[in-house]
A and B are shown apart, each in its own frame.
Chain A
Amino acid sequence: MHEHDVIVVGAGGAGLRAAIAAQEAGADVAIVSKLHPVRSHTGAAEGGINAALRDADSWQDHAYDTMKGSDYLGDAPAVEALCQESPEEVIQLEHWGMPFSREEDGRVSQRPFGGLSFPRTTYAGAETGHQMLHTMYEQVVKRGITVYDEWHVMELAVTDEDDPADRTCHGVVAYDIQSGEVSGFRAENGVILATGGMGQVFDHTTNAVANTGDGVAMAYRAGVPMEDMEFIQFHPTTLPSTGVLISEGVRGEGGILYNEDGERFMFEHGYANNDGELASRDVVSRAELTEVNEGRGIEDEYVHLDMRHLGEERILDRLENILHLAEDFEGADGLTEPMPVKPGQHYAMGGIETNEFGETAIGGLYAAGECACASVHGANRLGGNALPELIVFGKRAGRHAAGEEMGEAEITTGKDGDWEAADYEFDVAVGETGGQGPAAADGGAVATDPDGVLEAEVERAKARIEDLLARKGRNHAEIRSKVQKTMTANVNVFREEGRLEETLGDLREARESYKDVAVSDPSRTFNTDLIHTMETRNILDIAEALTMGALARREFRGAHWRKERQERDDENWLKHTLVSWNDGEPELWYKPTILEGENKTYEPKSRSY
């Protein structure tokens, strides 16, 4: 048993920032992560950090761009916090030594990014995330913060009152990948989930193999709703064979998209007459797939991204990393030929429902970063807005969990504020499949005694592992692959009712199969078979909630496009989707979007670029 004031789960950008902030606020903090911090996927972020640093720019403009980009599904208090605090956080990173790209006068460089009214994307070459991750890990080392690396967090220790609002979180249960030991980590003040993305729900993704949405699924099963899960960003420029990301920075610097006929289709086919390649990501992704669907794609699969005209000097100075990625993972030489690109799953706008301080509906449980949904990205995230989210909300959650007084939140969590039940009947059963085994309902349902809940969860986790190792059955890999394939086929850029229902059916079958899952490697040493099997359970829960939200939302907003209604419907759908697990019986419900900011109301306008 380990004890700390604050436990941070995950060691990417949000987790590291949260840990630093909690420690600065006086807490004894520890990070528990299934990867060593420098392995985190924040390191793969390329483009940059949006921050209104210059006199000609303002946080208000940044907030306006972000609300518009979100298709008015962002919550103003969270969006404004992001835009107000990002500049000081960027300066903080610089003071921690982060090697930003520089202007002639020695100040940090900024470049244009899609959907931005000012070139406010601060960057370090095309490896901004790598530099940010390492800079913050350096600070964690400097401060001597305890890191339990290669410990996989299995479940949260949450009490089991009927109403999730009455439940409290007292720690986590984790499995030491190196030794096979199961241990409890008691958190006196709070647990902060910073587990990152869930791209492994899909099979063509820019996300790492480790991005299985563990935190989202754990919080969900403990009673915290998942918010806006149907909003998945498909990045328009990923390499076709691997899904490796080619930064928006290429288009920011002037890169051009061409179809098979050599047409600059963003303009020539009227997808974005003003902004062209720099329209919002969802717009560009749909444009590319429309080109392919209408027969103008190359090899019926992809389009070309050309940066040759930028010249070798500029490319080497600002986009060198892109040359390596295109060469190593697609065999393309960006200096002499256009690079093949197509849309790939990139980012989850939705996640664990939180308020603007990172608090969830369960006392003592926080979330920050990609796994959380405050919401700053609404229906579509702007490029360059993910990294500032990590540091702004990581810091906020860290301070709050450490006990700093931060005032009253404007965003409500759970069913505290206005909410409405969904008026939707699913044809396919969802949720718990019944019976025993690894797919049986789990969550906080073991004890209401705050002192005993962690011990009880540890015992249950041990029993679960023994069961998975002892039983005979099927390997998780085929189940995971089936989920990824149906999600990519049917819950992609273009969505329609029949195919979404088909996927819900496929997911039901996958849940049934998971009842027979077993781990064939009996070892306690570095048993990745066991870890991956537990992750697959998380992938299943997320895929289901995501598809439920996508089916019910019959409108086109941001990244979510529905064939049945190809326009935004503010009258009926200006609201957040929430899915609650309810101990195995998923419930779909809605809460209103908050468009009232500090000094203004963000009136929904048509989103054209």
Chain B
Amino acid sequence: MSTQIPKQTDESSETDVDAEVASKGDERRDEKRRRAAEERARRQAEEAEKADDDEETIELKVFRYDPEIEGKQEPRFDTFHVPFTKGMTVLDALMYSRDTYDSSLTFRHSCRQAVCGSDAMFVNGGQKLACKTQIADLEEPIRVEPLPHADVRKDLVVDLEHFYDQMESVEPYFQTNEYPDGELEEQRQTRENREKIKMSTRCIWCSACMSSCNVAAGDNEYLGPAAINKAYRFAMDEREGEDIKQQRLEIIEQEHGVWRCQTQFSCTEVCPKDIPLTEHIQELKREAVKNNLKFW
């Protein structure tokens, strides 16, 4: 997994833009290569020594299930041994297991950098994004399971339809009646207001929060932390007008809205983007109360 510099195979293939610079560079490079080789040899010896004491491979216990394949219809755990490399993440280990041992091992993943939100799973008993969870930080054997409180489709893949439905139920789109007059005019927004909504706009729809929430587990109609956060993102945006804010507060005040939250902070703890979800829910509760008083 690295970009290789084209290796010079023989003398004649050297770049000859500036022979002097090149030859100086060569000398230096050779010297560095010698130094690097020595350093590598030393490090390898060190690591080999360490490997005698430590495990050089890591043990991964992965949940397996496939509704239509005999032998996988009963959920089970498969064990994979993966050679450890520095910086290895749970996603790296899963990909290695799939590409090396069992190509039917199934999990969602795409960007590998914690922005697509595809690979939330249950790792050693916590909701994590596999791509940003370092193996070195985990106790072995590492237990990898699909997100709790969602139907399992296969292996680590869960059904997200319900999550998407909740997200889309809060009118998750910008609404305003007023735009500036000029043809190429943006609406104005203060830095403070942008800062206020900033964290809420970072949601990547991974559904880790929903999976961690006891209330959502017991009440299937509960909007859940992510959807309420989405509502917060718009309700707090000063570019939307007051009447629209009113409408938004009505949505989150519904029976299965903000008042269901029992401020257990589990959503906030698992959020891979550090969104203060519980605070946002609490703030919406306060807004709703203030708003109701206004109409008394």
Contact = CB atoms under 8 A, between A and B. Distances in A.
B154 interface: yes
B190 A141 contact: no
A311 interface: no
B234 A97 contact: yes
Interface in A462-511: 475, 477, 481, 488-490, 492, 494-496, 498-499
Contacts, number: 215
B117 interface: yes
B113 A492 contact: no
A496 B13 contact: yes
A138 B184 contact: no
Given A38-B204, A244-B112, A529-B104, A329 B132 contact: yes
A427 interface: no
B154 A294 contact: no
A344 B194 contact: no
Interface in A45-98: 53, 87-88, 91, 94-97
A242 interface: yes
A246 to B, nearest CB: 11
A324 B114 CA distance: 10
A13 interface: no
A108 B191 contact: no
B103 A477 contact: yes
A525 interface: yes
Q: What DSSP secondary structure best describes chain B's contact surface?
A: loop
Nearest to B174: A97
B110 A204 contact: no
A106 B192 CA distance: 10
A477 B101 CA distance: 11
Q: How large is the interface on B (under 10, 10 to 19, 20 to 34, 35 or more residues)?
A: 35 or more
B154 A523 contact: yes
A524 B184 CA distance: 51
Contact of A242 (B36, B113, B190): B113
| B22, B33, B68, B112 pick with most chain A CB within 10 angstroms | B112
A41 B117 CA distance: 11
Contact of B186 (A108, A125, A289, A344): A108
A101 B173 CA distance: 19
Contacts of B153: 178, 525-526
B188 A99 contact: no
B113 A526 contact: no
A53 B176 CA distance: 22
A62 B109 CA distance: 37
Contacts of A523: 66, 68-69, 104, 154
B17 interface: yes
A480 B1 CA distance: 13
Contacts of B103: 475, 477, 519-521, 529
B80 to A, nearest CB: 15
A209 interface: yes
A499 B187 CA distance: 54
B31 A41 contact: no
B205 A38 contact: yes
Interface of B: 1-6, 9, 13, 15, 17, 21-22, 24-25, 28-29, 31-33, 36, 66-69, 86-87, 98-99, 103-104, 106-118, 132, 153-155, 157, 160, 164, 168, 171-174, 176, 179, 183-191, 194, 197-198, 201-205, 234, 237, 239-240
Given A35-B116, A103-B191, A523-B69, 7 more contacts: A36-B164, A94-B186, A95-B179, A242-B1, A300-B32, A488-B3, A523-B68
